[in-house]
């Protein structure tokens, strides 16, 4: 099965937007057994879109386009493809009602030009849009029309905004593919997330532990991200689910507590679930991470089971006033110091009346570093009813990477401490 | 001039890596007058690389490849392209010395297979690698070889790691292009960021105001993101800088205060700069956005000039204790209400001793909605020394989009208020 992806958008061609669809769709498709062979991006120009789609239809069993379904003058995909396939566009009553309803719910008048979103090529299957107005469209392309062969190809048009495309793909497009275009070989891919070891150390432990699996065809890939390293296991062939399950077991044995989750699990969701299961609550006090830790924890639906609140104490005054940090300690050791981190953690626990607290104080940069405490220096403290501990870490990098890596480090540390009932 | 980009890497095709080269190179090239017409990504398989490069050489004056120049078994670009062009690979003494030198400086033995990085196709120009070992390669392709025409095409091979590719492109590749492939026309692109209007409303205002510019060749593009709409103006031709400056002026006149910045500016950086210029400080109190607002504000380097601190008061208890919200008000109106938002803003201003405060309380979902206050309902309040005001907003969507859009809404509102010296 040959799968191709066509991303449209002039903002891509002049480098004004990052093509996140490419990664997201390639990943979802690969995990479902439809590995993309070629991805193409072109501008919004009808001639460029038509050329790219025609070429892909000449070789692929499945072609997916993204973008160009909206109401503005540069949204041309629907009409270009209808024209290319010789299909009439007809206004669909049901879609029009949904679009109208979308604006009514928001108490906004429906702009006249949004009406184009209700145009559907004849024979197309409508993929509902739960988070916007333009539906996706799935069109069967008769065999022999663009490429030799005896089965129809499928052309899927998905909308540009990720928050519309992603649920639409998972809820409507993928079930349709599974029904109409079964992949030839069973293929399983599992991504195991680790935290606390560098990429080459992870590889040093994994390779000897998985050598037998590699000989029997399991592929291993590594991906270093800010604050974590992912190990990807892939196997194509009969019984792939079993093979991958056994490989994952061997991998976990080799990496121990550094493994925090798989696939869609995040450090924050794993930590929230763990603390919820233990009936523990958590407060955070952040200086240099500036709310990044609280933000990531509260991205988890239902975080309020565990997360009580956070203090972003950027100024020394606020560290004293909200968290009860001692003026003399700030004076003697500086805001970026172990004694201040310890007091912040204790203060946050008391102020928020929580079981645990995390405190972070450090130097995010780009300015503010000293020879003793260069940019990237950070103290992370943890308080429980019994103890408060702190450690000094060093996470050099740009400001946003520093915030992200430091927040991950703190969450991973508390995950390990909480498992030992710290 | 036709420019095409070919990105190689199996990690791209299974969605395990984001193709940041595409945006970075397309942007650098567009700004230098070389707009990429088509970008293609394929796996590391030699047949896929050869097919993509052959096709691009059949239509483009300039083809740039990324990746596949390293020492491992899946790095095949160099040899595939030499084969395709019928060029012999010869070991280059100078490159070999540089590679050896790289390992010596780091006190590491040079692995034997790294030697392939010194292989250079005959006639190629070497693009030195200051941050790694594999050099880039620029190869002139004789006219008539793959496409009709009388001038040679250029094929550039760049390495995969961004920290190697980026300086190499700016220091060696771009000067070579400017020497060998002068773009035919001057071209300027400007992106104007707006907040507070939907995509179709933005277009309704922009189109009549810019119709004259469109007739004279200015292209307009729209891009909707969570909480903001970008309008992109592009013009190619003599005097493009002037034309775009006048078009931007007309655009700003049509959109008024909804325009908050251009190109690399973000809402948070614009707000921090504005408040810093006015000598104002800011504190935030967040419930449903859970630290997202503080996180985004503190992503701006030097945010501490303005941002004093934040309170993530997820629990009612913390709203009372930290911000002095009244128990009776919480009881009567509920945590998601205008009176509570007002008290949170006043309380945050007092507790942090800041000039301004923003407070946010709402329902992020997926649970917690009621018929009166469905998921997406939010109250945003602003406090200054003179006044406290609040408004009710509705930002339906998934949890993370809700947090992002609500934080953007709050920052944009304060930006407009601060300009009027609220």
**CATH assignment of the domain containing A161:** 3.40.980.10
Q: Judging by beta carbons within 10 Å of its beta carbon (0-12, 13-18, 19+), is residue A161 exposed, middle or buried?
A: buried
pLDDT at B110: 84
Tokens representing residue A255 in the block: 């990496």
B-facing residues of A in 372-401 (CB < 8 A) are 399-400
User: Which SS3 state, helix, strand or coil, does residue A139 take?
Assistant: strand
Same domain, B194 and B279: no
Inter-chain contact B403–A366, Cβ cutoff 8 Å? no
Q: What residue in A sits closest to B197 (Cα-Cα)? A: A108
Which of B27, B309, B318 minimises the CB distance to A15?
Answer: B27
Render pLDDT for A318-344 as a digit per residue (tens, 0 to 9).
999 999 999 999 999 999 999 999 999
Which residue in chain A has the smallest CA separation from B10? A37
Identify the CA nearest to B308 among candidates A196, A313, A169, A86: A313
Same domain? A40 vs A167: yes
Cβ contacts (< 8 Å) between A13 and chain B: which residues? 26, 30, 35-37, 39
Which of B132, B136, B152 shows the shortest CA–CA distance to B144?
Answer: B152
Measured between alpha carbons, how far is A359 from A390 in angstroms, rounded to an integer? Answer: 9
Pair B163, B73 in one domain: yes
pLDDT at A198: 75
Q: Which residues of A touch B27 (CB under 8 A)?
A: 14-16
Q: Which of A365, A410, A227 has its CA nearest to residue B298?
A: A365
- Per-residue pLDDT 10s for chain B (422 aa) are 899 999 998 889 988 778 999 999 998 998 888 999 999 999 989 999 999 999 999 999 999 999 999 877 778 999 999 999 999 999 999 999 999 998 888 777 888 878 999 999 999 999 999 888 899 999 999 988 898 887 889 999 999 888 789 999 999 999 999 999 987 777 888 999 999 888 888 999 999 999 999 999 999 988 888 889 999 999 988 899 999 999 999 999 999 999 999 988 999 999 999 999 999 999 999 999 999 999 999 999 999 999 999 999 999 999 999 999 999 999 999 999 999 999 999 999 999 999 999 999 999 988 889 999 999 999 999 999 999 999 999 998 889 889 999 999 999 999 999 999 88
- Domain ranges, residue B219: 187-262
Domain final position from A262, A286, A302 = A262
CB-CB contact of A17 with A161 (8 Å) = no
A403 touching B (Cβ < 8 Å): yes
Residue in chain A nearest B281 by alpha carbon: A315
Query: b/e string for B254-272 if b means 16 or more Cβ within 10 A?
Result: bbeebbbbbeeebbbbbbb
Residue A149 CA: distances (Å) to CA of A58, A59, A146: 11, 10, 9
> Looking at beta carbons, which residues of chain B come within 8 Å of A291?
291-295, 297-298, 310, 312
Q: Which residues of chain B from 123 to 182 reach within 8 Å of chain A, CB to CB? A: none
Give B-chain residues touching A191 at CB under 8 angstroms.
16
| Dist CA A155 CA B42 (whole Å) | 20
Q: What are phi and psi of A14, to 5 degrees?
A: -100, 15
Residue B384 and residue B420 in contact, taking contact as beta carbons nearer than 8 Å: no
Same domain? For A225 and A255 the reply is yes
Q: How many domains does chain B divide into?
A: 3
* H/E element, B316: helix B316-323
Q: What is the radius of gyration, based on Cα positions, of chain B?
A: 28
Cis before B20 (ω within 30): no
Tell me which residue of A370, A375, A383 sits closest to A403, measured CA to CA.
A375
C-alpha B8/C-alpha B67 separation (Å) is: 6
Residues A256 and A284 in one domain: no
What is the C-alpha separation between B376 and B289, in angstroms, rounded? Answer: 11
CA distance A16 to chain B (A): 7
- Partners of B351 on chain A (C-beta within 8 Å) are 321-322
Say whether both B175 and B216 belong to one domain.
Answer: no
- A399 and A271 within one domain: yes
B239/B285 Cα distance (integer angstroms) = 48
pLDDT (tens, 9 = 90+) of chain A, 422 residues, equals: 899 999 999 989 988 888 999 999 998 998 888 989 999 999 999 999 999 999 999 999 999 999 999 988 889 999 999 999 999 999 999 999 999 999 998 888 898 889 999 999 999 999 999 989 999 999 999 988 898 887 889 999 999 999 899 999 999 999 999 999 987 777 888 889 999 887 767 888 898 999 999 999 998 877 767 788 888 898 988 899 999 999 999 999 999 999 999 988 999 999 999 999 999 999 999 999 999 999 999 999 999 999 999 999 999 999 999 999 999 999 999 999 999 999 999 999 999 999 999 999 999 988 889 999 999 999 999 999 999 999 999 987 778 889 999 999 999 999 999 999 88
pTM of the model: 0.81
Task: Determine the residue of chain A that is closest to B220 in CA distance.
Answer: A74
Q: Tell me, what CATH number does A279's domain have?
A: 3.90.950.20
Residue listed under structure tokens 């958590």: A282
Does residue A72 share a domain with residue A152?
yes
Question: Are B228 and B283 found together in one domain?
Answer: no
CB contact under 8 A, B39 and A403: no
In the prediction, which pLDDT does A72 show? 86
Q: Is B269 part of a structural domain of the chain? A: no
Q: Do residues B64 and B94 share a domain?
A: yes
Helix (H) or strand (E) holding A194: strand A187-194
User: Are the Cβ atoms of A315 and B309 closer than 8 angstroms?
Assistant: yes
B106 to each of A131, A202, B71, B164, B300, how far by Cα in Å?
Answer: 53, 22, 18, 17, 35
Partner A, chain B 276-315, Cβ-Cβ below 8 Å? 284, 289-295, 297-299, 301-304, 307-315
Q: Are A391 and A379 in contact (CB under 8 A)?
A: yes
ipTM, two decimals: 0.81
Amino acid A230: pLDDT: 86
Query: From A44, which residue of chain B is nearest by alpha-carbon distance?
Result: B221
Residues A49 and A153 in one domain: yes
B381, B389, B384: which is closest to B422 by C-alpha? B384
Is-contact A66 A25, C-beta < 8 A? yes
Q: For B41-107, give the DSSP string.
A: EE-S-HHHHHHHHHHHHTT-SEEEEES--SSSTT--HHHHHHHHHT--EEE-HHHHHHHHHHHHHTT
- Residue B153 CA to residue B155 CA, distance in Å, equals 7
Q: Which residues pair with B377 in a beta bridge?
A: B394
Distance of CA B286 to the CA centre of its chain: 26
Domain boundary among A180, A207, A227: A180
Where does a domain end: A180, A202, A228?
A180
What does the angle CA B192 – CA B198 – CA B203 come to, to the nearest 5 degrees?
60
Q: Quick one: A234 and A291 in the same domain?
A: no
């Amino acid at each position: 099965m040959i799968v191709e992806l066509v991303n449209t958008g002039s903002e891509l061609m002049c480098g004004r937007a990052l093509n996140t669809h490419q990664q997201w769709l390639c990943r979802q498709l690969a995990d479902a057994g439809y590995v993309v062979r070629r991805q193409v991006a072109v501008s919004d120009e009808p001639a460029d879109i038509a050329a790219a789609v025609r070429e892909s239809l000449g070789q692929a069993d499945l072609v997916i386009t993204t973008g160009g379904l909206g109401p503005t003058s540069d949204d041309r995909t629907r009409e270009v493809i209808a024209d290319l396939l010789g299909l009439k566009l007809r206004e669909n009553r049901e879609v029009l009602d949904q679009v109208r309803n979308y604006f009514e719910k928001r108490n906004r008048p429906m702009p006249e030009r949004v009406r184009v979103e209700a145009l559907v090529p004849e024979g197309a299957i409508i993929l509902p849009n739960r988070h916007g107005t333009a539906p996706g469209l799935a069109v069967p392309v008769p065999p022999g029309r663009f490429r030799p062969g005896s089965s129809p190809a499928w052309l899927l048009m998905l909308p540009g905004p990720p928050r519309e495309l992603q649920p639409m793909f998972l809820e409507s497009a993928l079930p349709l593919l599974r029904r109409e275009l079964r992949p030839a070989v069973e293929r399983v891919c599992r991504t195991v997330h680790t935290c606390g070891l560098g990429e080459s150390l992870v590889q040093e432990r994994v390779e000897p532990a998985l050598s037998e699996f590699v000989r029997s065809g399991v592929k291993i890939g590594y991906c270093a991200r800010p604050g974590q390293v992912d190990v990807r296991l892939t196997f194509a062939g009969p019984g792939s689910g079993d093979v991958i399950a056994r490989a994952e077991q061997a991998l976990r044995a080799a990496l121990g507590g550094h493994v925090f989750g798989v696939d869609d699990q995040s450090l924050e969701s794993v930590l929230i679930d763990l603390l919820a299961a233990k009936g523990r609550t958590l407060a955070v006090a952040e200086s240099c991470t500036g709310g990044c830790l609280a933000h990531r924890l509260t991205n988890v639906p239902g975080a309020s089971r565990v997360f009580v609140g956070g203090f972003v104490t950027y100024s020394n005054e606020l560290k004293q006033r909200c968290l009860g940090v001692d003026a003399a300690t700030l004076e003697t050791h500086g805001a970026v110091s172990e004694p201040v981190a310890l007091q912040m953690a204790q203060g946050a626990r008391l102020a928020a009346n929580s079981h645990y607290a995390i405190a972070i104080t450090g130097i995010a940069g780009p300015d503010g570093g000293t020879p003793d405490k260069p940019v990237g220096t950070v103290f992370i403290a943890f308080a429980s009813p019994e103890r408060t501990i702190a450690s000094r870490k060093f996470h050099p990098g740009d400001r946003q990477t520093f915030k992200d890596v430091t927040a991950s480090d703190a969450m991973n540390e508390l995950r390990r401490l909480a498992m030992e009932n710290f």
